[in-house]
Amino acid sequence: MTKNQVRDLIKEIKKRVAKKQRTLVLTLTKRLAEALSDYLSEEGITSQWLHSEVKTLERPQILKDLRKGKYDVLVGINLLREGLDLPEVALVAILDADKEGFLRSETTLIQTMGRAARHLEGHVILYADKITSSMKKAIDETLRRRKIQENYNKKRGITPRSIIKEIRDWPFTPKAKEISSEFWTPPTHHPIWDKKLLEREMKEAAKNLDFERAAEIRDLIKKFKNGKENIYADN
């Protein structure tokens, strides 16, 4: 199956594109992620790659662009570390799923497959030549959880629906105001302009994989540097 995995993948992606849905694709190396993303673009599919060489604070923008439809596909290696919450994703495709290792371990597969769970039409495709022990355990566990959820819904008359989540525009959204309030002191509400403090907070957020908070703090730093007295004002 891996011999023709890219050809089949393109067919599956186009089905989702027609429905204005998004796709996550997992490869094993940075080079493959970049090459596949470029190839998809050549095939008329808007795609973007994301891995460790992308600057930490650029990642939230890429994820937002995916949600907004600027890209139909995001290709990566270990997208778990991005703290993804992408309800528009209807397909998760894992290439070379039978290559044993950390990126294709039982735990990683289960967590990666779960990325499609927030969409009502969510599907996962594991491309492989054989079913490994990790794959079997991950599939069995996913089916077990699905059965539990289905029984729960049936007993309570719950009709499953896709998650709808607001796509936030940066900078200086309500969340930015909430974050910025941490750096103001009552009763005068004068800004605490401590570059080292803000940068430390930004790095801590990035370390904890909270890239949205890190990006918000980065933008606050920029606005302070530009001498904006009202940090909520438009640029």
- Determine the angle formed by the axes of helices 5-18 and 30-42, rounding to 10 degrees: 60
Mean pLDDT of 149-158: 91
pTM of the model: 0.70
pLDDT digits (tens, 9 = 90+) for 27-45: 999 899 999 999 999 999 9
Question: Which domains occur in the chain, in start order?
Answer: 2-156 (3.40.50.300), 174-225 (no CATH)
Work out the mean pLDDT of the chain and round it to a whole number.
Answer: 81
- Name the residue with higher pLDDT: 170 or 140: 140
Contact (CB, 8 A) for 28 and 77:
yes
pLDDT of residue 59: 77
- List 24's β-bridge partners, or say none: 74, 92
* Cα R_g (the chain), whole angstroms: 21
pLDDT for the residue numbered 134: 97
Task: Decide which of 16 and 186 is more confident.
Answer: 16
Q: Give the three-state DSSP class for 113.
A: helix
pLDDT of 230 reads: 43
* 158 pLDDT above the threshold of 70: yes
More confident position, 90 or 178 = 90
- Which strands make up the sheet holding 47-50, listed edge to edge? 47-50, 73-76, 22-26, 89-94, 123-126
C-alpha span between 217 and 233 (Å, rounded): 15
